[in-house]
Amino acid sequence: MFESARLPQKMDKKTFKKLEPEIRESLLAPQLEIVENKKFSTVILVDGLDGAGKGEAVARLYGWMDARHLSCNAYGEPMEEARLRPPLWRYWRDLPARGETAIVFGSWYQKPLRDRVYNKLSDEEFSKELERIRNFEDMLANEDVLVLKFWFLLPKEDQERRLEKIKKKNAARHVLSDWAALKNHSSASEVGEKIILETSTGNAPWFVIPSQDAEYRDSALAQTLARSMKLKLADGEPRTVSAPPVIGGVKRKTAIDAIDLSAKLDRDDYEKKREKYQNTLSDISDTKAFSKRGMILVFQGNDAAGKGGSIRRVIRPLDPRIYKVHPISAPTDEENAHPYLWRFWRRVPRRGHIAIFDRSWYERVLVERVEGFASHEDWLRAYNEINDFENELADFGYIICKFWLAISEEEQLKRFKAREDTIYKQHKITDEDWRNRLKWDQYAIAAGDMVDRTSTHYAPWTLVSSENKRHARVEVLKTICKRLEEEL
Amino acid sequence: MFESARLPQKMDKKTFKKLEPEIRESLLAPQLEIVENKKFSTVILVDGLDGAGKGEAVARLYGWMDARHLSCNAYGEPMEEARLRPPLWRYWRDLPARGETAIVFGSWYQKPLRDRVYNKLSDEEFSKELERIRNFEDMLANEDVLVLKFWFLLPKEDQERRLEKIKKKNAARHVLSDWAALKNHSSASEVGEKIILETSTGNAPWFVIPSQDAEYRDSALAQTLARSMKLKLADGEPRTVSAPPVIGGVKRKTAIDAIDLSAKLDRDDYEKKREKYQNTLSDISDTKAFSKRGMILVFQGNDAAGKGGSIRRVIRPLDPRIYKVHPISAPTDEENAHPYLWRFWRRVPRRGHIAIFDRSWYERVLVERVEGFASHEDWLRAYNEINDFENELADFGYIICKFWLAISEEEQLKRFKAREDTIYKQHKITDEDWRNRLKWDQYAIAAGDMVDRTSTHYAPWTLVSSENKRHARVEVLKTICKRLEEEL
């Protein structure tokens, strides 16, 4: 999850300096309008692991906004007054009145987060806590509170470096008390992901802020906040859950942008590896262990990235009685008369079988989003619905692999032209393909959001460069074999 | 919970016969409109314990509706096709297309219900299952499925009698296979209540159908269904979660209607009992065990029912340092600028203390509902919000008692007049009291719904006849003492 926030996203100081007045204005204008019309209050949760610079970021926010209508509360261990009352009491006490904005450090997520990391809560108890929080936040949203939640994300190495630096300075002692958290970094990250996954709702969305670069981090925080306030002021407008595509003039990088397209494989190497993995696949799919599970494969990617070719290499070693390929195109009338996921539930394989989807339920957050076939609200809620769907499948035992096959814009052009020139390939290229190509950037953002929101531990995305088809095919086979070996 | 559905609600056969054409028409008209415009499909869940006559009721529904656009599926142990796929698969397979209506016996609630009753699921796992179901039903609702859930409720004795009869007839063998369920009646009822409490949402409400009398049961089912379809057809209109106030021409009885107002207590008896309970209260409130808990008392009731007098008898034996009485009237400006429950969180006592509310957060679903101060949507969601709020309080350790003090319409008139005639009581009677009195029936329905939806095991309602004030005061003291003794 949140692959894109782990990419190095930077903004140089000069750009930042030049943009600062604009950022300031974009925050102040909606803030003052809210102060004036008192339609709602704003609560900003600042969470994430230590050392990501939450304090610095909020200090800058204070400089940009009108501090008279801004308050900031940091909650650590509760004081006596609060200890004598239910845990939520102190947060209620400090809720801002309509027109005001409050920043919350150490929110209601901190206790469940820590208790889960230190195993004081079972997974079920933890889910129950998250459910209570969701109800609480829904209630706030229904009572005219704009709840925005920011998760500051820092890869492990950066966190270590940052904390080391703070330690040397011997400043900010309150950070050091959390030193222990580092030991549990991976466990804490996992719990954090679950928090974001399960409590990112239309009413109270999480925004993941990449925090390696201070200028980028603070611009992302400010511009996301500014946009959310503006959207809420415009009312009715459904709220979004991803950061703006451009942060302080810099195009936001998505997980897709980070795929290394230079990977290559020569023919000999390819033949050897392909054969090896196909043999493994053939063997594993024939085991008793596999017959008790089953597999679901999803292929998405740029047009002409070679989904069909990869699928053909996967099915070659398989017994035709146990797999089925489902090419997904426009829904039938009957399918259209049912809930969206109905047509995929129809294709759920029997235990021990394999269903291969050439395009899939992800079309809802790709083509349907970009082309406006699904309403804003519909594709927004689809992320959670898809995660729930795949969770049902994984719980039953299916092994799920999802592939995004990526090519560059130039490579796509080359392949489109080649298709037009080759008679037996002409059916593979349509006007629609050319039209979609014009929206390359929009599709890239949609694909990036998709990977950020739906790459789960039970159904991870694998991003594969398909610039070289041989490389892609072997990567796909290798990933499937690896997952099967892990799971069986 | 669902006190009202446990009351004997009857309809004689003659009334029923006369009403049947009307019921039929009220069902057919919206059904055919839905068939015509194909705006949504309808899924009707039929649940509850065995022997309540679910099959009979649905058979009648079939007679009334257009069976060509109605399907009915009963799910028991899954067949092989279904066993080889995730549990939800068979329900997805049978989802009706837009325009169609499907009745579901043995819904997705059956497995978690049984697994919880037979302790195969822990309480947390069970909650997690309910959460998954909630997400699933939300998704259906968002995808144009009208989800209506009916819980057929039968008190234990009636269930025993009904099953005995069926056993003798030796008919309906499938019912007998569930004979074992009876042994767990109380546990199953409790789990059922939790299901209804936690999964009754605006998107997929539960309606509890009193099933002692077949004619009343079937009219209630039909008229609730007819009204829900009509509301959904009218769109935008928020859906309600209580049955219509009049079922087949018969006024629906609420829990309030069942209070026996004839209870009396003579002065000597009163003095003796009052003193006894006040002594107990004084003793318990002084214990160390109590100082680790605390108590929250809520008083609601008809105007002039004597809330103040009862509260005075409760506080007399208490140390003034540990209690506070909060008379609740119109919110201040500052309170109005915050979420609704903020003003009650402000008054949450410290551990070991007692907060007594003369009127409370329940005003939202009483006066604010009846007078239209809260929107339909706001008071509807308040039931769950209030349950969550009280759950937080109970989890922290407070003992919660809630009292509804009831008097008859005539007794109220007498007391109003007496107040006007007594100089030092004149401040207690206002024009507003007289106005409220004109809406007696509406207030009774609101109070009934309130008790049905918010009487939980952690914060139960006690309904007290206050027609005789001495009786009410002793009942209140007795209930508090009993709860304290149970909890400490």
Task: For residue range B388-442, list pLDDT tens digits in order.
Answer: 999 999 999 999 999 999 999 999 999 999 988 888 878 888 888 888 888 998 8
Q: How many Å separate Cα A41 from the centre of its chain?
A: 27
Domain B3-253 in CATH 3.40.50.300? The answer is yes
Read off the DSSP letter of residue B88. T
Percent of residues, chain A, with pLDDT higher than 90: 57
Specify the DSSP element, H or E, that contains A4. none
Q: Which chain B residues have a beta carbon less than 8 Å from that of A132?
A: 388, 392
B239: pLDDT confidence band, cut at 50, 70 and 90? low
Percent of residues, chain A, with pLDDT higher than 70: 93
Residue-level length of chain A: 488
Most A CBs within 10 Å, among B388, B395, B398, to test the A interface? B388
Q: Which chain A residues have a beta carbon less than 8 Å from that of B92?
A: 341-342, 345-346
Read off the DSSP letter of residue A253. P
- A424, A465, A469, B239 from A411: Cα distances, Å: 20, 11, 11, 53
What are the extents of the domains in chain A? 3-253, 258-487
**Can you give the pLDDT at residue A377?**
77
- Calculate the average pLDDT of chain B: 88
Q: Report how far residue A96's alpha carbon sits from residue A71's, in angstroms, rounded to the nearest whole number.
A: 8
What would the mean pLDDT of A76-87 be, rounded to a whole number? 86
**Can you give the pLDDT at residue B179?**
43
**Amino acid code (one letter) for B258:** A
* For residue B27, pLDDT beyond 90: yes
Specify the DSSP element, H or E, that contains B357. strand B354-358
- Chain A nearest-CA residue for B37: A337
Name A332's Cβ contacts closer than 8 Å, sequence gap at least 6. A343
* For residue B262, pLDDT beyond 80: yes
Q: Report how far residue A238's alpha carbon sits from residue A240's, in angstroms, rounded to the nearest whole number.
A: 6
- Chain B nearest-CA residue for A129: B124
Name the 3-class secondary structure at B356.
strand
What would the mean pLDDT of A341-366 be, rounded to a whole number? 95
**Can you give the pLDDT at residue B28?**
94
What would the mean pLDDT of B109-114 be, rounded to a whole number? 92
Name the 3-class secondary structure at A463.
strand
Angle at A217 between CA A212 and CA A218, to 5 degrees: 145
The CA distance from B375 to the nearest CA of chain A, in Å, is: 12
**Can you give the pLDDT at residue A429?**
83
**Can you give the pLDDT at residue A142?**
86
- B311, B330, B339, B346, B396 from B343: Cα distances, Å: 21, 11, 8, 5, 19
Specify the DSSP element, H or E, that contains B230. helix B214-234
- Chain A nearest-CA residue for B39: A337
B241: pLDDT confidence band, cut at 50, 70 and 90? low
Cα–Cα nearest to B243, from B218, B275, B209: B209
**Can you give the pLDDT at residue A92?**
93
Contact A392 B131 (CB under 8 A): no
* For residue A86, pLDDT beyond 50: yes
Q: Report how far residue A451's alpha carbon sits from residue A436's, in angstroms, rounded to the nearest whole number.
A: 20
Q: Report how far residue B367's alpha carbon sits from residue B331's, in angstroms, rounded to the nearest whole number.
A: 13
Q: Report how far residue A68's alpha carbon sits from residue A65's, in angstroms, rounded to the nearest whole number.
A: 9
Of the spans A229-238, B334-343, B424-433, which averages the highest pLDDT?
Answer: B334-343
* For residue A23, pLDDT beyond 50: yes
**Can you give the pLDDT at residue A128?**
84
- Chain A nearest-CA residue for B88: A392
Strand A323-327 and strand A295-301: the pairing is: unpaired
Convert the pLDDT of each residue in B359-392 to its tens digit: 999 999 999 999 989 887 788 889 889 999 999 9
Burial readout B153-185 (b: 16 or more C-beta within 10 A, e: otherwise): bbbeebbeebbeebeeeeeeeebeeeeebeeeb
The CA distance from A400 to the nearest CA of chain B, in Å, is: 14
Q: Quick one: residue B315, left, alpha or beta (phi over 0 = left, psi -120 to 50 = alpha)?
A: alpha
What would the mean pLDDT of B42-50 be, rounded to a whole number? 90
* For residue B42, pLDDT beyond 80: yes
Contact A338 B384 (CB under 8 A): no
Of the listed ranges A107-111, A370-374, B284-288, B420-424, the one predicted with least confidence: B420-424
Q: Which chain A residues have a beta carbon less than 8 Å from that of B140?
A: 339
**Can you give the pLDDT at residue A169?**
67
Q: Report how far residue B329's alpha carbon sits from residue A366's, in angstroms, rounded to the nearest whole number.
A: 53
**Beta carbons within 10 angstroms of residue A38's beta carbon:** 13
Name A482's Cβ contacts closer than 8 Å, sequence gap at least 6. none
* For residue B250, pLDDT beyond 90: no
Percent of residues, chain B, with pLDDT higher than 70: 93
The CA distance from A352 to the nearest CA of chain B, in Å, is: 9
Specify the DSSP element, H or E, that contains B105. strand B101-105
**Can you give the pLDDT at residue A152?**
92
The CA distance from A103 to the nearest CA of chain B, in Å, is: 16
Contact B127 A132 (CB under 8 A): no
Q: Which chain A residues have a beta carbon less than 8 Å from that of B41?
A: 337-338
- B73 close to B46: Cβ distance less than 8 angstroms: no
Contact A131 B136 (CB under 8 A): no
3-state secondary structure A305-359: CCHHHHHHHHHCCCCCCCEEEEECCCCCHHHHCCCCCHHHHCCCCCCCCEEEEEC
**Amino acid code (one letter) for A270:** Y
B197: pLDDT confidence band, cut at 50, 70 and 90? confident
**Can you give the pLDDT at residue B177?**
46
**Can you give the pLDDT at residue A179?**
43
Contact B378 A99 (CB under 8 A): no
Contact B95 A338 (CB under 8 A): yes
**Amino acid code (one letter) for B160:** E
- Calculate the average pLDDT of chain A: 88
**Nearest CB partner across the interface for A128, out of B86, B127, B337:** B127
- A393, A394, B234, B385 from A388: Cα distances, Å: 9, 10, 31, 25
Of the listed ranges A154-168, A169-183, A234-248, A286-300, the one predicted with least confidence: A169-183
Please state the φ and ψ torsions of residue B110, each to the nearest 5 degrees.
-65, -45
- B191 close to B118: Cβ distance less than 8 angstroms: no
**Can you give the pLDDT at residue B175?**
46
Read off the DSSP letter of residue B424. G
Contact B388 A122 (CB under 8 A): no
**Taking the alpha carbons of B366, B367, B371, B374 in that order, is the dihedral positive or negative?**
negative
Convert the pLDDT of each residue in B149-177 to its tens digit: 999 988 777 777 777 777 776 555 454 44
* For residue B101, pLDDT beyond 90: yes
Q: Which chain B residues have a beta carbon less than 8 Å from that of A341?
A: 92, 139
Beta bridge partners of B299: B358, B403
Q: Report how far residue B186's alpha carbon sits from residue B207's, in angstroms, rounded to the nearest whole number.
A: 20
Do A3-253 and A258-487 share a fold? yes
What would the mean pLDDT of A220-231 be, rounded to a whole number? 92
Please state the φ and ψ torsions of residue A464, each to the nearest 5 degrees.
-125, 130
The CA distance from B285 to the nearest CA of chain A, in Å, is: 17
**Can you give the pLDDT at residue A240?**
62
Q: Report how far residue A386's alpha carbon sits from residue A374's, in angstroms, rounded to the nearest whole number.
A: 15
What would the mean pLDDT of A91-98 be, rounded to a whole number? 93
What would the mean pLDDT of A183-189 be, rounded to a whole number? 72
Q: What is the CA radius of gyration of chain A?
A: 24
Q: Report how far residue A149's alpha carbon sits from residue B307's, in angstroms, rounded to the nearest whole number.
A: 44
Contact B99 A337 (CB under 8 A): yes
Of the spans A131-145, A231-245, A267-281, which averages the highest pLDDT?
Answer: A267-281
Q: Report how far residue A89's alpha carbon sits from residue A83's, in angstroms, rounded to the nearest whole number.
A: 9
Q: DSSP string spanning A435-458?
A: HHHHTHHHHHHHHHHHHHHH--SS
The CA distance from A300 to the nearest CA of chain B, in Å, is: 24
* For residue A132, pLDDT beyond 60: yes
Q: Report how far residue B476's alpha carbon sits from residue A119's, in angstroms, rounded to the nearest whole number.
A: 43
Contact B135 A350 (CB under 8 A): no
Tokens of A110: 């901190």
Residue with tokens 């997520």: A109
- A411 close to A221: Cβ distance less than 8 angstroms: no
Q: Report how far residue B14's alpha carbon sits from residue A76's, in angstroms, rounded to the nearest whole number.
A: 68
Name A199's Cβ contacts closer than 8 Å, sequence gap at least 6. A109, A130, A133, A134, A137, A149, A206
Most B CBs within 10 Å, among A43, A89, A353, to test the B interface? A89
**Can you give the pLDDT at residue B34?**
94
Of the listed ranges A237-246, A286-295, B94-103, the one predicted with least confidence: A237-246
What would the mean pLDDT of A198-213 be, rounded to a whole number? 85
- The CATH architecture annotation of domain B258-487 reads 3-Layer(aba) Sandwich (3.40)
Residue-level length of chain B: 488
A188: pLDDT confidence band, cut at 50, 70 and 90? confident
